Amino acid sequence: MFKPKTIFFEKAIENYELGKQLLEKYKEVPKVEIENHNNIEQMRKQENKEFLNLKRNLIIGVRKTHKFVENHKTSDYLVPYTSSGCTAACMYCYLVCNYNKCSYLRLFVNREQMLEKIIKTAEKSEKELTFEIGSNSDLILENTITGNLPWTIENFKNTKKGKLTFPTKFDMVDDILNLDHQGKVIVRMSVNPEDIINNVEFGTSRLEGRIQAINKLKDAGYKIGILIAPVIMVDNWKELYLELIKQLESKLSANVKKDAFFEVIFMTYSFVHTKINEEAFPNAINLYNKEQMTGRGKGKYMYKNDLRKDGEIFIRDQLNKYFPNNEIMYIV
Ligand code: SF4
């Protein structure tokens, strides 16, 4: 259970039900009032080596930007929702890039306003829309602090149209198992070989827990996606990912294997990651590999094309072999 070291909060959260609940829940935790959750000077000025310490704080504010971004993968829109950042510390997390050192967990208490915009957009549209509500954080993790997922699902289930989806790397799903979700929620579990989880995805749930969570969610009627992401080309990567696919094949229930879909994403990395990881995790493996990677925009890296192509063929072949009836939505 996450216990914040300090809470940084905007005064306005006192005007919201969830804001009041969180202040009460953490009444014993030291607090610092802030003007704006986007710019907390005393956090921004910290050195990279303080990265993990920064993540022990909790920031609570009111979300001001509500812009939906079009998306063409598993959803129609990426929607800013109830949190950004995370208390875990995956070494490649793209939120680090977007928010640099500020990838600590920020909670936004104006959930009514955010969900209402989703519902209105869904109902106005002629097309059945899917909204990605977890692209800025991990909602299963956030839920252990806020209880926002049962609240969201309960308040969304009776809408005439629309679906919600989110990815996660956590197994604490029990809170949403007994809800009447009306088939409107797609949960996408992100998986990686155990070795990579242990050495790169610090603070997330173990593989075994994630697999059991998928089985439980499917039994509870949720539509399931499995994200193999990000694929990291360490020395023996083909061996590791083949083992992962075999483990999934043997441990996922027949119910899951009936219709779960796959997404596969190769890792992208950045100069900012390198700097933070070198200082925050001096003993961890180096994910930047000059031989394998090429530039992709300013300060960003991706695997070279020929490696990616070879990797894509390998993963597609293995998935087709072990999961012949399951759709691969995309490999990027
Ligand atoms: S669990 Fe997700 S949001 Fe959290 S650090 Fe890892 S990749 Fe980032």
Residue 64: inside a domain: yes
Residue nearest to atom 8 of ligand 1 (CA): 93
How far apart are the CA of 95 and the centre of ligand 1, in A?
8
Q: What is the pLDDT of residue 256?
A: 98
Residue 1: inside a domain: no
Residue 38 maps to which CATH number? 3.80.30.30
Q: What is the pLDDT of residue 258?
A: 97
Alpha carbon 80 to chain centroid distance? 13
Rounded distance, CA 37 to CA 60, Å? 7
pLDDT in tens, 247-290: 999 999 999 999 999 999 999 999 999 999 999 999 999 999 99
Rounded distance, CA 116 to CA 95, Å? 25
Q: What is the pLDDT of residue 96?
A: 86
175-210: buried (b, 16+ CB within 10 Å) or exposed (e) per residue?
Answer: ebeebebeebbbbbbbbbbebbbebbbbebbebebb
CA 201 to ligand 1: nearest atom: 6
Is residue 100 scored above 80 in pLDDT? Answer: no
Domain that holds residue 325: 7-331
Mean pLDDT, residues 106-126 taken together? 97
Residue 141: inside a domain: yes
Rounded distance, CA 39 to CA 256, Å? 43
Mean pLDDT, residues 182-197 taken together? 98
Assess whether the C-beta atom of 86 lies below 6 angstroms from ligand 1.
yes
pLDDT in tens, 125-169: 999 999 999 999 999 999 999 999 999 999 999 999 999 999 999
Mean pLDDT, residues 192-217 taken together? 98
CA 167 to ligand 1: nearest atom: 2
Cβ proximity of 197 and 209 under 8 Å: no
pLDDT bin (cut points 50, 70, 90) of residue 117 is: very high
Is residue 242 scored above 70 in pLDDT? Answer: yes
Residue nearest to atom 7 of ligand 1 (CA): 93
To test the pocket of ligand 1, the residue of 101, 106, 138, 231 to mutate (highest count of ligand atoms within 8 Å of its CB) is: 138
To test the pocket of ligand 1, the residue of 137, 169, 190 to mutate (highest count of ligand atoms within 8 Å of its CB) is: 169
- Domain count within the chain: 1
- pTM assigned to the model: 0.97
Q: What is the pLDDT of residue 101?
A: 66
Rounded distance, CA 226 to CA 132, Å? 15
Residue 100: inside a domain: yes
To test the pocket of ligand 1, the residue of 90, 191, 202 to mutate (highest count of ligand atoms within 8 Å of its CB) is: 90
By the 10 Å C-beta count (0-12 exposed, 13-18 middle, 19+ buried), 90 is classed as buried
How far apart are the CA of 234 and the centre of ligand 1, in A?
19
Short-list 189, 202, 185, CA closest to 92: 202
Residue 87: inside a domain: yes
Is residue 233 scored above 80 in pLDDT? Answer: yes
pLDDT bin (cut points 50, 70, 90) of residue 188 is: very high
Rounded distance, CA 16 to CA 29, Å? 19
Is residue 97 scored above 80 in pLDDT? Answer: no
How far apart are the CA of 136 and the centre of ligand 1, in A?
9
Residue 157: inside a domain: yes
Q: How many CB atoms lie within 10 A of CB 42?
A: 12
Calculate the average pLDDT of the chain.
96
pLDDT in tens, 37-46: 888 888 888 8
Residue 246: inside a domain: yes
Assess whether the C-beta atom of 252 lies below 6 angstroms from ligand 1.
no
